[in-house]
Each structure stands twice: as C-alpha cells, then as structure tokens.
Amino acid sequence: MRPKACIFDLDGVIVDTAKYHYLAWKRLAKELGFEFTEKDNERLKGVSRMESLEILLSVGGIKIEDQKLKEQLSDKKNNWYVEYISQMTKDEILPGVEEFLRKLKNAGIKIAIGSASKNTMTILRRIELVDLFDSIIDGTKITKAKPDPEVFLKAAEELNVDPKDCCVFEDAVAGIEAAKSAGMKVIGVGDHEILKDADRVITSFVGHGIELVEF
C-alpha cells in the first residue's frame, strides 16, 4: 500500500549532524573534566537537549540540582553546536536523500519533517531544503520528546493525512518507538541490529525509489 505522506526525522536521516552534536557535547564534557566517547553519544540520538545533558552528566558521574546551571550548560553546548552547523552546506545532505524526496513529491506523496531539534530551521536553510517540505514540525512546536508520538501526529495533522497513511524515516530507537505509537509505518535508517523494531531498515537512500514505501 502506498502511503499518502512520508515524515522524515532530520538529524541522522537527512543530514549527519550527529557528528556536530557529538563534538559539542564532548567539548562540554571536557570542560567538566571527563571524557565522552562516541559510544556514549549513541544514547543521545533522538533525545531532547535537556535529556541529553542529563545523560551526559550521568556518564561523568556529576550531580547538578540547580536548574539554572543546567540551562547554562545546555546553552553553552548549543552555542558551540550552532557555530558548527552555521558552516554547513548543501553538500552535507546525506547521499540519495534529495533525489528520494523529489521522487516522493513527483508521485504525489506529501513530505514532512518531524524532528526534536530546535535548530531544524537553521539546518534546513543551510542545506536549502526548506521549500521542499509540505510541513515542518520541530522542537519549537512540541512539548513531548520522542518516544512520545506527538511530533509525528502533529505532522500528520498539519498535512491532513491519517496517521495510518504515513510512513516515518528514523535513525533513532526512540524515534522508531514514537512512529509505532503514532500508528505509522516506519523505516529505519542505519544499523539493522540497532533498528530491529522498524518495519524495514535501509543503510542509505541511494538507489531507492518509491517502492521502498509501498508495503
């Protein structure tokens, strides 16, 4: 069955911003006096900024009760992150993504962004993809983070499409759970082992046509 809409996570699906998030969190960990590994960073994928900070602090064995201080730390990380992404270009769109998006649009399938990131618009502007999407739901428009389905349900609502007619693309376990709770089909982008709960898993968009979403 062909979906009426496809909803794309941004970080790790459209662009590889995970590396910039990692650089910024690592820099913060270093300032706080501990190492933050790439393996630790896996746990931050799909997770909101504040929850990411909590995970980072637990890795470093640091307990902070002061909410203001936590906000200062996450702002610091975000300022570094914004500095990194402000240099992004269209070249950083992951291979095959733009072609695939255009194939969906040509087939009359609506496309949306469903991301936890409050930096979504900055990134989409940098990679010049803002106008391609029929709806953009990002971290500034939601109150509940993935695995809550809010972000995907909002996108479906804005597109005026029933959730069961939507197919989500996700690279994070929390995102796959969110799509399933929304009653949507979900295609994992990345490692088969990690994303085993998805209906299908791809490692890249290269060479895929709309038959990928027809199931």
Q: CB under 5 A: which stretch of 20-28, 69-77, 101-109, 169-177 binds Mg ion?
A: 169-177
Q: Is 131 a catalytic residue?
A: no
Strand positions, DSSP E, the chain: 5-8, 110-114, 135-137, 166-170, 185-189, 200-202
- In the chain, the amino acid numbered 78 is N
Q: How far is the CB of 104 from ligand BG6 (least distance, A)?
A: 21
Q: Considering the rule CB under 6 A, would residue 19 count as an interface residue with ligand BG6?
A: no
Q: How far is the CB of 106 from ligand BG6 (least distance, A)?
A: 27
Helix (H, G, I), strand (E, B) or coil at 20: helix
How far does the chain reach from its first CA to its final CA, in angstroms? Answer: 5
Q: Site for Mg ion (CB under 5 A): how many residues?
A: 5
Q: Considering the rule CB under 6 A, would residue 8 count as an interface residue with ligand BG6?
A: no
- Partner in contact with 44, chosen from ligand BG6, Mg ion, none, beta carbon below 5 to 8 Å by kind: ligand BG6
Q: Considering the rule CB under 5 A, would residue 177 count as an interface residue with Mg ion?
A: no
* Residue facing Mg ion at closest CB distance: 12
CA dist 98 and 117 (Å) reads: 20
Tokens (6 digits) for 82: 């914004």
Residue (24 or 184) nearer to ligand BG6, CB: 24
CA dist 27 and 20 (Å) reads: 11
CA dist 198 and 179 (Å) reads: 9
Q: Is 9 a catalytic residue?
A: yes
Among 32, 70, 96, 139, binds ligand BG6 (CB under 6 A): 139
30, 40 Cβ separation under 8 angstroms:
no
Q: Considering the rule CB under 6 A, would residue 135 count as an interface residue with ligand BG6?
A: no
Residues that bind ligand BG6 (CB under 6 A): 10-11, 21, 44-49, 52, 78, 115-119, 139, 172
